[in-house]
């Protein structure tokens, strides 16, 4: 679970804004295109965004002429920015932890969550709740930090000269909280395996449509050579799971 105060802290907020403005970010170049490749057509649909941040996915949905967007984030600063950038009569924004979101059953066609669910403790319960919110044929698209990123020290093993030798994988099956130094603060993550993500969705009654572990394409590597690290190990896990049609 993310502490709301962390992302509302002015120093952390400024560092996050600076990070988001950098060209060639893995989130922008690798995660977002893969995530969007799994999105169904959104025209006329009711969309829910869990952990919306500054509202990028909500704005994308509004551009596709959705019927409504409901977007939630624990950070007051993030919600304020999302409203400023994407205010619209069809959009509803609320300061709320993902675990506390309450929605009527069968009220959503698409639920999305971009790089937020590795913060929550109980993914099993959330998966069941999302299934309840979805209408038949609806989709749940989520991205998280890949479990290879969250399981151990989250840094390369290096030779004496600083050459990156390999990415350590340790305590992979030991699921639970981790602390990551990020944006100048110790940020919590919840580590779980790929199997745990997938099986929670299946056990909730959803059907796995597609699973991606994307890396940079050749054009991106040529433009931003530092992305070569993301060929050596996956940074993101992206899943689409659909509500079955009776």
Residue among 239, 216, 214 nearest 227 (CA): 216
pLDDT at 22: 78
Q: How far is CA 66 from CA 44, 55, 137, 162, in A?
A: 4, 15, 16, 49
Does some domain include residue 172? no
Residues 87-104: tens digit of each pLDDT: 788 999 999 999 999 999
CA distances 116 to 34, 44, 224, Å, are 16, 25, 25
- Structure confidence at residue 23 as a pLDDT band (50, 70, 90): confident
Q: What is the CATH number of the domain that holds 231?
A: 3.40.50.150
36 has pLDDT over 60: yes
In a domain, 98, yes or no: yes
Residue 5, pLDDT > 70, answer: no
| pLDDT grade for 6, boundaries at 50, 70 and 90 | low
How many domains is the chain partitioned into structurally?
A: 1
Tell me the average pLDDT of the chain: 91
**What's the confidence (pLDDT) of residue 1?**
38
Q: How far apart are the first and last CA of the chain?
A: 35
**If you search the block for the tokens 């993500």, which residue do you land on?**
197
Q: Say what angle helices 56-63 and 76-86 make with each other, to 10 degrees.
A: 20
| Residues spanned by the domain of 25 | 4-36+53-155+180-242
DSSP 231: H
Range with the poorest average pLDDT among 53-57, 75-79, 135-139, 183-187: 183-187
CB 75 within 8 A of CB 140: no
For residue 132, give the DSSP letter: H
Who has greater pLDDT, 160 or 9?
160
121 occurs within a structural domain: yes
Distance of CA 40 to the CA centre of its chain: 17
pLDDT at 187: 81
How far apart (Å, rounded) are the C-alpha atoms in residues 246 and 244? 6
- Say what the pTM is: 0.92
31 HSE (CA, 13 A, CB side): 21
Residue 222 lies in a domain: yes
Is 90 exceeded by the pLDDT of residue 86?
Answer: no
Q: 169 lies in a domain?
A: no
Q: What are phi and psi of 196, to 5 degrees?
A: -65, -40
What pLDDT band is residue 47 in, cutting at 50, 70 and 90? very high
Predicted pLDDT at 52: 94
Q: Are 30 and 216 in contact (CB under 8 A)?
A: yes
User: Is 163 domain-assigned?
Assistant: no
> Which pLDDT band holds residue 155 (cuts at 50, 70, 90)?
confident
């Amino acid at each position: 679970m993310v502490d709301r105060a962390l992302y509302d802290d002015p120093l952390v907020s400024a560092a996050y804004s600076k990070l988001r403005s950098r060209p060639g970010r893995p989130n922008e170049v690798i995660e977002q295109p893969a995530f969007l490749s799994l999105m169904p057509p959104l025209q006329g649909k009711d969309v829910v965004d869990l952990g919306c941040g500054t509202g990028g996915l909500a704005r994308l949905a509004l551009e596709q002429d959705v019927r409504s967007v409901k977007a939630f984030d624990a950070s007051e600063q993030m919600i304020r920015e999302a409203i400023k950038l994407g205010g619209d009569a069809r959009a509803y924004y609320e300061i709320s932890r993902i675990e506390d979101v309450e929605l009527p059953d069968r009220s959503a066609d698409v639920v999305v969550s971009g790089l937020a669910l590795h913060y929550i403790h109980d993914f099993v319960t959330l998966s069941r709740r999302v299934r309840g919110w979805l209408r038949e044929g609806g989709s749940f698209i989520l991205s998280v930090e890949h479990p290879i990123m969250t399981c151990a020290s989250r840094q390369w093993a290096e030779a004496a000269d600083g050459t990156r030798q390999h990415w350590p994988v340790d305590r992979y099956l030991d699921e639970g909280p981790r602390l990551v130094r990020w944006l100048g603060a110790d940020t919590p993550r919840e580590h779980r395996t790929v199997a745990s993500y997938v099986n929670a969705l299946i056990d909730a009654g959803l059907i796995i449509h597609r699973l991606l572990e994307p890396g940079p394409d050749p054009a991106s590597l040529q433009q931003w050579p530092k992305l070569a690290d993301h060929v050596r190990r996956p940074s993101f896990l992206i899943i689409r799971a659909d509500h079955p049609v009776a």
